[in-house]
Structure 1
Amino acid sequence: MKHLVFLSGASGNTAFWDPLIAQLPAEYTKQVIAYPEFDHAPAHPDVYDFASLGNYVLAQIEQECIIIAQSMGGIFAVQAALKKSKLVQGLVLIATSGGIDLSSFNVQDWRSAYQASFLNHPNWFVTAQADYLVQLSEIQAPVLLLWGDSDPISPVEVGQYLKQQFKNASLHIIDGGDHLFAEQYVSETAQLVCEYLKHLAARSLEELNVI
């Protein structure tokens, strides 16, 4: 279980992960999944809407791994944990909806700004309507939830709510962090992820000793 999969937010910016990856343990292999037609990635004939993009991401997960996902990428991470539970051994969800309906939370509408900033991107994220709420309790893998306390797009209340839905989750708050804190507060984020990876490694060793 020494493989990390990274899923970006709606921008599809794979370079977002570079600072964090640089501070994570070298013994872990890293796979950053690019979304076709996002952030200069080439189109793919099988990707034409949000659901097909989710299937594309799912197909890239072929070995035991821990998924680290930011913002809208968390929807794909949750989908993978549900559909490939034997491969997805852990989740790190960063400032994400986690695939739940956010209409009851006081969240900032990001869609208009997104469309204005990413004119050449497909519109799939803007129209996405995924809701995995009733299935979150089925996820057995340990979940690390990371949130910034100054994030209007996914406020701390969302992270607190998700913590209650997962069977095995911990929540950590980054002081001063906005929606992109994983890049802006990379040292704090990396430390929390490293501690989580150590915890998973120790847990796996204990399970092997029991067997």
Structure 2
Amino acid sequence: MHHFYFLPGASGNTDFWQPLLQKYINTTHEGQIIAYPGFYNIPCEPHIQSFEQLSDHVLSKIVKPSILIAQSMGGLFAIRAALEKGDLVKGLVLIATSGGICLDEFNVQDWRADYHQQQAQTPNWFVKTQANYEKELASIKIPVLLIWADADPISPLPIALKLQSYLPQAELKVIRSTSHHFASLHSTKIKAYIDEYFQLP
């Protein structure tokens, strides 16, 4: 049996992972979505006032040997967890995320201003984080599955290829989509990729 922790993107939308999580219900595996206090109707917690404190909170929820499945900004938490909780994190599934690498060289659609207008209730410090893990990525030796859309304007495919160059053991799968949120729309295919890569029964 494998345990999955699902990490949402910048909106903190826990519903995003429901289509994939439901596909693991009634299997030998179990899953849990980690919510972000102060995001997506989740009550705030006074001690979380920065991206670093939110990151600490997310890592504190990882208490079982597990595979982390992370969307977009959630990938920053997944990478940090792999670096700091290697005894528990047995694999990563990174979907449309920077993974903590510098994006200056890429033609990335500026999503932050629009995001902040649409997600006015979420803390502004989340979208301003400059977390960078480039120097540490090569030390991640666990299995890593990268899943990208071929035409995502927010996280274009070249980002996945660059991330893969830092994680040479990583395998890349590409889905035809123009949506940054393709993982929620293609949960059947995502599950098939995860099951095959991690050899899940």
Q: Same fold (TM over 0.5)?
A: yes
Contact map agreement 2:153 2:178 (CA 8 A) in 1:
no
Partner of residue 197, structure 1:
198
Match of 2:111 in 1: 110
Maintained 8 Å contact 1:177/1:185: no
TM-score, length-scaled by structure 2: 0.95
For structure 2, the 5+ residue unaligned runs are none
- What are the Cα deviations for residues 43-73 of structure 1, in whole angstroms up to 9, with x where unaligned? 1132111000000001111111000000000
TM-aligned CA deviation for residue 177 of structure 1 = 4.4
Aligned length: 200
The answer for the alignment partner of 2:75 in structure 1 is: 74
- Matched residue, 1:142: 143
Measure the CA separation in 2 of the matches of 1:81 and 1:62: 13
For 1:43 and 1:91, the matched residues in 2 are separated by 27
**In structure 1, what is the Cα distance between the partners aligned to 2:175 and 2:168?**
23
Q: Which has the higher mean CA deviation after the structures are superposed, 142-151 or 187-196? A: 187-196
- Tell me the equivalent position of 2:36: 35
In structure 2, relative to structure 1, the CA distance for the partners of 1:53 and 1:132 (3 Å cut) is same
2: CA distance between counterparts of 1:182 and 1:159?
15
Q: Which runs of 5+ in 1 are unaligned?
A: 202-211
Which residue in 2 is equivalent to 1:24?
24
Task: State percent identity of aligned pairs.
Answer: 47
TM-score by length of 1: 0.91
Aligned-residue offset at 1:167: 3.7
The yes-or-no answer on 1:87 pairing with 2:50 is no
SS of equivalent residue, structure 1 residue 195: helix
Aligned counterparts of 2:185 and 2:2: Cα–Cα separation in 1 = 25
Higher mean Cα deviation, 163-172 or 129-138? 163-172
Superposition pairs for residues 171-210 of structure 1, below 5 Å?
Answer: 171-198=172-199
Matched with 1:128 is 129
Q: Deviations over 1:98-129 (max 9, x none)?
A: 01111111110100110110111111221111
SS at 2:191 equivalent? helix
Tell me the equivalent position of 2:55: 54
The code of the aligned residue for 1:97 comes to S
Report the 3-state secondary structure (helix = DSSP H, G, I; strand = E; otherwise coil) of the residue aligned with 2:162: helix
Contact 1:8 / 1:72 at 8 angstroms: preserved in 2? yes
Q: CA RMSD in A?
A: 1.3
Q: Considering fraction of residues, name the structure with more helix.
A: 1
AA aligned to 2:157 is: V
Assess, with a 3 A threshold, how the Cα gap between structure 1 residues 177 and 197 changes in structure 2: closer, same or farther.
Answer: farther
Tell me the equivalent position of 1:8: 8
The Cα shift of 1:188 comes to 1.5
SS of the residue 1:23 aligns to: helix
Q: Counterpart in 2 of 1:63? A: 64
Q: 2:24, 2:31 within 8 Å by CA — same for their partners in 1?
A: no
The equivalent residue for 1:45 is 46
